[in-house]
C-alpha cells in the first residue's frame, strides 16, 4: 500500500516537473537556459518512461538523448557564443496566432481524450527486452539498417556542411 502511494507520488512529481520544464523551454529567451530546461525535461521523461514499464527506453533516453544530442547542442551554443534573443522581435501575426493555436490545440486534444474515455490502467507492463531485441533484428531489420545508414549519411553530411571549404 505504502509502495503504491510512493510510486504515485513520484509519478505525479515527475509529471509536474516535466510540464514545468516544458514551459521553461518555451519561455526562456536565452538558448543556454532553454537547452538546460530541455535537459531537465528529458530526464523527467526518462523517469516517466520507467514508470510506464519501458525500462530500456528510459536508459536509452538518458544516454542517447541527454548524453548525445543535447551535448551536441550545448557544444554549438558554446562554440558560437550566442546572445539571448531580444524582446519584441516576433512577427506580430505569430505573436497572436501562436498562443491561440496552443490553447485551441490543447483544449481539443484534452477534450477528445475525455470523450474517448481511455481508462484501462497499466497493470505491471514491463518491456520484455529479449523479445524486443528479437523483433528489432527480425521483423524490423530493414528499418533498423535504414536508420544506421541514415546516421552514417548524416554524420558525413554534417562534416561536409560544417567545413569551411570543401
Partner 1 sequence: MILEGLILSIFLFGLGCMTFLLRRNLILMFLGIELIINSANLAFVVFSANNNNYEGSLFVLFSIGIAAAEAAVGLAIFISAYRSFKSAYIDFFKILRF
CB 51 within 8 A of CB 10: yes
Q: How far is the CB of 59 from partner 1 (least distance, A)?
A: 12
Q: Does 39 bind partner 1 (CB under 8 A)?
A: no
Q: Which is nearer to partner 1, 1 or 88 (CB)?
A: 88
Binding residues with partner 1: total (CB under 8 A): 81
Of 46, 98, 42, 52, give the one whose Cα is nearest residue 73.
Answer: 42
Residue of 78, 109, 141, 145 that binds partner 1 (CB under 8 A):
109
Q: How far is the CB of 20 from partner 1 (least distance, A)?
A: 11
Q: Does 62 bind partner 1 (CB under 8 A)?
A: no
Q: Does 67 bind partner 1 (CB under 8 A)?
A: no
Q: Which is nearer to partner 1, 2 or 68 (CB)?
A: 68
Q: Does 141 bind partner 1 (CB under 8 A)?
A: no
Residue of 6, 9, 78, 98 that binds partner 1 (CB under 8 A):
98
Q: Does 134 bind partner 1 (CB under 8 A)?
A: no
SS3 119: coil
CA atoms within a 13 Å half-sphere pointing along the CA-CB vector of 122? 14
Q: How many angstroms separate the Cα of 19 from the Cα of each of 35, 60, 92, 125, 139?
A: 15, 21, 27, 24, 35
- Kindly identify the residues of this chain, within the stretch 2-31, that bind partner 1 according to CB under 8 A: 11-12, 15, 18-19, 22-23, 25-26, 29, 31
Q: Does 59 bind partner 1 (CB under 8 A)?
A: no
Cell 550566442, residue located: 82
Give the other-Cβ count within 10 Å of 25's Cβ. 17
Long-range contacts of 87-91 (CB under 8 A, 24+ apart): 87/29
Amino acid at each position: 500500500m505504502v509502495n503504491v502511494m510512493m510510486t504515485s507520488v513520484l509519478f505525479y512529481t515527475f509529471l509536474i516537473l516535466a510540464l514545468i520544464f516544458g514551459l521553461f523551454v518555451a519561455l526562456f529567451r536565452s538558448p543556454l537556459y532553454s537547452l538546460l530546461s530541455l535537459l531537465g525535461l528529458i530526464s523527467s521523461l526518462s523517469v516517466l518512461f520507467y514508470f510506464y514499464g519501458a525500462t530500456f527506453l528510459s536508459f536509452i533516453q538518458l544516454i542517447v538523448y541527454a548524453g548525445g544530442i543535447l551535448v551536441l547542442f550545448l557544444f554549438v551554443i558554446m562554440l558560437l557564443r550566442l546572445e539571448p534573443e531580444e524582446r519584441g522581435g516576433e512577427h506580430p501575426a505569430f505573436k497572436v496566432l501562436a498562443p491561440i493555436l496552443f490553447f485551441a490545440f490543447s483544449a481539443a486534444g484534452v477534450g477528445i481524450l475525455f470523450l474517448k474515455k481511455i481508462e484501462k490502467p497499466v497493470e505491471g507492463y514491463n518491456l520484455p527486452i529479449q523479445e524486443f531485441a528479437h523483433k528489432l533484428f527480425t521483423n524490423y531489420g530493414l528499418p533498423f539498417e535504414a536508420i544506421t545508414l541514415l546516421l552514417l549519411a548524416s554524420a558525413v553530411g554534417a562534416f561536409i556542411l560544417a567545413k569551411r571549404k570543401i
